[in-house]
Structure 1
Amino acid sequence: MTHPIRTLIIDDDFRVAGIHREIIDAQPGFVALEPALTVADALATIEAEQPDLLLVDVHLPHGDGIELVRACNIDAFIITAAGDGPTVRRALRAGALSVLIKPFERRVLAERLNRYSRYANLLAGSTDLEQEAIDRALAILNGTDAPLTLSRSATEKLVLDELRAGESSATEVAERLGISRATAQRHLAALATRMKVGVRLQYGLTGRPEHRYALLR
C-alpha cells in the first residue's frame, strides 16, 4: 500500500482502545482512527472514514463484533478475552484474519500489524498474482514465512510491481515485500543490468551514498 493503513478500533473499554491506538500510531505506515465504542458508532465511522483494517472486540454494546466483521467486508482482527474454540472458529469463519486473546503484550499486536502490512503490500494492485506470491502473503500473515521462497521470476515481478509506486531503495523494497535486503538488492541489480530499472546515487550528509531504483519508462 502506498497510503497509511487506516485502522479502526472497536472496543467498549475506552482504556483498552486507547492502549491499542497508541500501538497502532507507533507502527510505521499505520494511522489509528478515533476508536468506536459501540456497533452503531463503528458503522457510522466505517461509512464516513472507509478504514482499511478493523480491530474488533467480540462483546459490544447492542451487537456482536464477529457479526460486524462478517457484514463489513473489511480486513479485520478479532481481539477478545473469549478464547474458547467455538468463538475462535466463528471469528475465522466470519473472515477475521487474526484472533488475539486478551491480555497480550504490546509487541504481539505490533508484530501482527507488521505482518499485515507486508501481507497487504504483496496483494496490493490489480495485476494477476502467481500462486507463489499468494502462498508467500499468507505465510507472512500467519508468521510461517521463513521456509517459503519465491522463484526468481515471481520475485522480480513483485519487485517491479513495488517500483510502480515510485523510486525506492533496496531496504524499502525488502521491508514492503517481506524479503531480505540482500535478496532485494540482488534482484534490483539484475533488473538494472537488463535495463528494466534505473539506478542513481543519493548522497546524505554522512555515510555512504544510497542506491535508489526506479522503473525505466
Structure 2
Amino acid sequence: MTDDIRVLVIDDDFRVAGLHRDAVASVPGFTPLEAVHTLDAARQALRAHQPDLLLVDAYLPDGDGIRFVADTERDAFVLSAATDAVTVRRAINAGALAYLAKPFDAVALVDRLRRYARMRNLLGGDAALTQERIDRALSIMAGGAEPATVSRSATEQLILDGLGDDDEASAAEVAERVGISRATAQRHLAALATRGQVEVRLRYGTTGRPEHRYVRVGKR
C-alpha cells in the first residue's frame, strides 16, 4: 500500500482551518498535518513535515498565499473568499490545482481531494506517460468527463497497472486508483478475467454476499 497523502492547511481563521483539516481527515488515504495560520509557520511546517498537498488561503496576515504557492512549487489548492477574476487567474498561474471560493460545503473539498488522489495515482512513478494517461489525469482534476480518446485497451492497461501494487483489490478500489467509475472498472475487470489476465477471488464476510476481489495474473 502507498503512504497516505500528507496535507497542510494554511488559514489564519482557526475555526475555518479546523473545518478544512476535519474534511481532510474524513477522506481515506489522506493524513492532515497540524494546521498553521501564517506563512512563516507554513514554511517551518514544510521543512519539518514535507507535506504533499497544501490548502492555502489567498491572503494571510504575513503575506500573499498565492505567491507562496508559486514559490513552493508544491501541489496546492487555493481556498479563498476572493472571487474576483484577477485573484482566480493569479492562483491558476501560480499552479493551483483547484480554487474553492469560501464559504463552501465540506463535500466540495472532499470531492477535490478524491480527484487529486486519482490524478496523483495516474501521474505517479518515473516511467513515461501515454497521452491517454495524461489526458485522463487532467480531466479528473478538472472534473470533466472521461476523454473520448481513451480506448478500451488503454483503460484495461490502466486497470492492470492499478492492480500491480497490491495483492488484490475490489472493483471499487480499482476504480478509485485508476480514476474511472465502479461500473466501468467492473466491466473491464470481467473482460480481463475472461481472457485470463486477472483472477477473481471471493472474500467472505460475516453477512451478505461474498466480495469479489481481483488480482493480476502473475502478481503475488
What TM-score, normalized to structure 1?
0.92
Q: 1:128 — aligned with what?
A: 128
Q: Measure how far apart 1:215 and its partner are.
A: 2.3
Q: Measure how far apart 1:24 and its partner are.
A: 1.1
CA distance in 2, matches of 1:145, 1:214: 28
CA distance in 1, matches of 2:36, 2:202: 46
Q: Identify the range of structure 1 (173-182 vs 26-35) with the bigger mean alpha-carbon deviation.
A: 173-182
Q: 1:100 — aligned with what?
A: 100
CA distance in 1, matches of 2:135, 2:22: 31
Q: 2:3 — aligned with what?
A: 3
Task: Within 5 Å, give how 1:1-217 maps onto structure 2.
Answer: 2-145=2-145, 148=148, 150-166=150-166, 167-217=168-218
One-letter code aligned to 1:210: E
CA distance in 2, matches of 1:148, 1:11: 39
Show CA shifts across 1:32-74 (max 9, x none). 1101111111111111111111000111122211111111121
Q: Measure how far apart 1:195 and its partner are.
A: 3.2
> SS of 2:78's equivalent?
strand
Show CA shifts across 1:73-130 (max 9, x none). 2110011122211111111111001111111122221222122122222222233222
Divergent runs of 4+, >3 A: 146-149
Q: Measure how far apart 1:186 and its partner are.
A: 2.5
When residues 19 and 48 of structure 1 are mapped into structure 2, their CA distance, relative to the original with a 3 A threshold, is: same
For this pair of structures, how many residues does the alignment match? 217
Percent identity reads 59
Q: CA RMSD in A?
A: 1.8
One-letter code aligned to 1:194: R
Say whether the 8 Å CA contact 1:130–1:154 is kept in structure 2.
Answer: no
Q: Identify the range of structure 1 (117-126 vs 51-60) with the bigger mean alpha-carbon deviation.
A: 117-126
One-letter code aligned to 1:128: A
CA distance in 1, matches of 2:194, 2:27: 35
In structure 1, stretches of 5+ residues that fail to align are none
What TM-score, normalized to structure 2?
0.91
